[in-house]
Amino acid sequence: MFNNETDITKNIRVIEFLKSELLTTVASLYQVLLKGTKVTQEIIVDILANLILVTYLLGKRLGVAFSVIDTKIQDKIRIGMLEDHETEKWYGDLSDLSDYLKKNKK
């Protein structure tokens, strides 16, 4: 019984940590984007990668499999393409992302 309670408590703490990490990373992105041209692309890539990583880990702690998140992303891409989302209409970003994900799917 004690071990099960410890696991639940530990999971709650990890979830709270990941939520905090997510907010901190989003705040970092806003701060970096405010600086404009003084920021290197490496810093932006690092922040964006951290956002994706933390999101996957938070999903896992909340009981959502990585594959379910991937499937939902692909669904959202398809919907955005069908609904002519602005980034798709102007730049073809959703099509590019869809092609990238299909190419790199293992």
Q: State residue 40 phi and psi, 5-degree precision.
A: -85, 155
Mean pLDDT computed over every residue of the chain: 93
Residue 26 CA to residue 28 CA, distance in Å, equals: 5
Does residue 79 contact residue 87 with C-beta atoms inside 8 Å? no
Per-residue pLDDT tens digits for 8-57:
999 999 999 999 999 999 999 999 999 887 788 999 999 999 999 999 99
Hunting for tokens 């806003």 — which residue is that? Answer: 30
